[in-house]
């Protein structure tokens, strides 16, 4: 049972080392992981999340709660769900929300001891109602029991319900672990939220995409049905674009509501049925919602199980990504910063310029040309570490050379570059901690390295992403920095690359160094006080 007074009355005093992110949501204190119930209700955006308020480590799950008018500035609310009933006394695990008129339906996984074997937990699905004032759990909980699953599975792994509605029928997609250790999505239906019917397994893995799946999402975008899921224990595969460990992927297709099967498209980018959503170290359990103006908006946990970092002096752990708008282009998900972010930075101070190859060394406000072979662009001291750096390359299209290189370069550009030619972005403090973003043009690869950040980074410190020229020969990067993270949007959101890091000071410097045979354009935006 939880001590509500501890959370609701205990104040948190933050020192300079414990400054919170500015536009990436983090909990008031304690632990946070998966977003839950991301939704719009009573004129506000609501974000629920997996939360343990008593330590910066994972513990029995609660549902934290925050609200926002603009998806960037959040107000903490009292905890929505506590692990305090007979069907959830071991934790209120991940789930989703459905807004209906004057109330919200919150569906979540209740965890309790297995009555047949008290050494193991059992997971089942429960419902609570938010009327705008209180959160009331249904007395019939659990409403979807393990006995309702009409296929062999492990009762210890049945969780993360996604609720949606089609006309008068409620649907719930929940993940299970099959007896062979692989994940699947089970679909249920109901007309009253209490009696649920098992329909079918709509998607599953036979080991070709990890083991257990987590946190399914289901929605329709531009006429396509889309499933998002986060597989665990994935083996890295360059052809599929997957990395070792936990991944977050999407599948496009059509849900046949006669047979209740999901007819999946073959992904053109990897000749597989699923594709990676984000290629960074720190992105997991994304969840989407439909905004009042019709945008499909996604948010995710800006960490991952194998790689999370919590500095010793922090009273909080975990943060969310910046919400992103999703669009479907050529059957591929494109991610872009939400319009609220674009409006926020529209009037922020900015400097921009165009640099010729091998020609420039500059400080923050003055450009001086030199006849050297290295470009150094240093953006002075930053009193707050929130900023954005845009870099655009236009690679040669008519250069012929015999040696080379990456298949991601145009044929005319192959052989133009050697492996020593790079763009290096360094974010650093005054205590010799730093992180690097390195773009190798010859390999057409962007690499992130946080091994020199505070506490030597985390269990995973390096990750690379392959990039491609656009049709016009250009290559675009948008690096959006908050206090402890960088979200990189590549080629207008065709790919994203999300990574967390911790430095010793809130005063940061950014240095951009280039040794390239091509020039580039840049725009640096230093955010106003947010």
Token pair belonging to 288: 């989407």
Residue 127, both tokens: 């419902």
- Cα angle for residues 444, 445, 450 (degrees, 5° grid): 160
Q: In this structure, are strands 350-355 and 91-100 parallel, antiparallel, or unpaired?
A: unpaired
In whole angstroms, give the CA distance from residue 280 to residue 448: 8
Give kind and range of the element (H or E) at residue 300. strand 296-301
CA atoms within 13 A on the CB side of 302: 32
End-to-end alpha carbon distance in the chain: 38
Residue of 10, 34, 222, 244 marked active site: 34
φ, ψ dihedrals at 343, nearest 5°: -70, -35
Q: Is the peptide bond before 36 cis (omega within 30 degrees of 0)?
A: no
Q: Are strands 30-41 and 324-329 parallel, antiparallel or unpaired?
A: unpaired
**Exposure string for 34-65, b = 16+ CB within 10 A, e = fewer:** bbbbbbbbeeebbbbbbbbbbebebebbbbbb
Active site residue 34: yes
Contact status, residue 197 vs residue 160, Cβ threshold 8 Å: no
Q: Which of 327, 318, 233 is nearest to 283 (CA)?
A: 318
Contact between residue 267 and residue 273 where contact means Cβ atoms under 8 Å apart: yes
Residue entry with tokens 């959101």: 493
Separation between Cα atoms, residue 156 and residue 151, nearest integer Å = 14
Calpha distance 35→368 (Å, rounded): 47
Residue 487 CA to residue 480 CA, distance in Å, equals: 5
Ranges of H-type helices in 270-402: 339-345
Question: Nearest-CA neighbor of 34 among 301, 319, 321, 304?
Answer: 301
Q: Cβ-count burial of 444 within 10 angstroms (0-12 exposed, 13-18 middle, 19+ buried)?
A: buried
Joined tokens for residue 318: 């975990």
29 sits in which H/E element:
none
* Cα–Cα dist 250/471, whole Å: 25
The residues annotated as belonging to the active site are: 34
């Amino acid at each position: 049972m939880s001590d509500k007074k501890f959370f609701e009355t205990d104040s948190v005093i933050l020192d300079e080392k414990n400054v919170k992110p500015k536009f990436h949501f983090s909990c008031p204190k304690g632990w946070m992981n998966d977003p839950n119930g991301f939704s719009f209700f009573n004129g506000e955006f609501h974000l629920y999340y997996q939360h343990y308020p008593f330590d910066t480590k994972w513990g029995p799950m609660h549902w934290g709660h925050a609200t926002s008018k603009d998806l960037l500035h959040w107000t903490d609310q009292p905890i929505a769900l506590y692990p305090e009933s007979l069907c959830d006394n071991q934790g209120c695990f991940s789930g989703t929300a459905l807004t209906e008129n004057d109330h919200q339906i919150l569906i979540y996984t209740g965890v309790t001891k297995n009555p047949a074997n008290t050494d193991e937990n059992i997971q089942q699905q429960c419902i609570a109602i938010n009327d705008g004032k209180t959160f009331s759990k249904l007395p019939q909980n659990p409403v979807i029991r393990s006995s309702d699953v009409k296929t062999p599975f492990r009762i210890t792994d049945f969780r993360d319900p996604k609720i949606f509605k089609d006309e008068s029928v409620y649907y719930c997609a929940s993940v299970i672990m099959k007896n062979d250790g692989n994940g699947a999505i089970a679909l249920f239906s109901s007309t009253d939220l209490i009696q649920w019917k098992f329909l079918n397994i709509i998607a599953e893995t036979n080991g070709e995409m990890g083991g257990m799946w987590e946190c399914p999402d289901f929605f329709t975008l531009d006429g396509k049905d889309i499933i998002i899921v986060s597989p665990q224990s994935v083996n890295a595969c360059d052809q599929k674009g997957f990395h070792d460990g936990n991944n977050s992927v999407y599948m496009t297709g059509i849900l046949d509501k006669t047979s209740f099967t999901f007819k999946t498209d073959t992904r053109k980018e990897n000749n597989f049925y699923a594709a990676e959503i984000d290629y960074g170290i720190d992105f997991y359990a994304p969840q989407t919602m439909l905004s009042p103006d019709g945008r499909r908006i996604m948010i995710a946990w800006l960490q991952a199980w194998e790689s999370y970092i919590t500095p010793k002096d922090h009273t909080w752990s975990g943060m969310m990504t910046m919400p992103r708008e999703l669009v479907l282009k050529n059957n591929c998900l494109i991610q872009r910063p939400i319009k609220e972010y674009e409006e926020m930075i529209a009037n922020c101070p900015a400097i921009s310029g165009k640099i010729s190859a091998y020609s420039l060394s500059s400080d923050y406000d003055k450009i001086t040309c030199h006849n050297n072979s290295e470009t150094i662009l240093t953006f002075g001291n930053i009193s707050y570490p929130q900023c954005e750096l845009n870099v655009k390359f236009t690679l040669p299209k008519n250069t012929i050379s015999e040696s080379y290189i990456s298949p991601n370069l145009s044929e005319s550009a192959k052989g133009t570059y050697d492996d020593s030619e790079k763009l290096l972005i360094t974010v650093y403090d005054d205590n010799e901690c730093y992180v690097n973003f390195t773009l190798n043009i010859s390999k057409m690869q962007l690499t992130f390295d946080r091994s020199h950040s505070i506490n030597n980074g985390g269990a995973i410190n390096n990750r690379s992403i392959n990039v491609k020229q656009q049709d016009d020969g250009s290559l675009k990067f948008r690096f959006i920095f908050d206090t402890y993270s960088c979200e990189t949007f590549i080629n207008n959101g065709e790919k994203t690359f999300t990574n967390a890091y911790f430095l010793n000071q809130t005063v940061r410097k950014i240095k951009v160094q280039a040794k390239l045979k091509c020039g580039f354009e840049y725009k640096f935006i230093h955010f106003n006080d947010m």
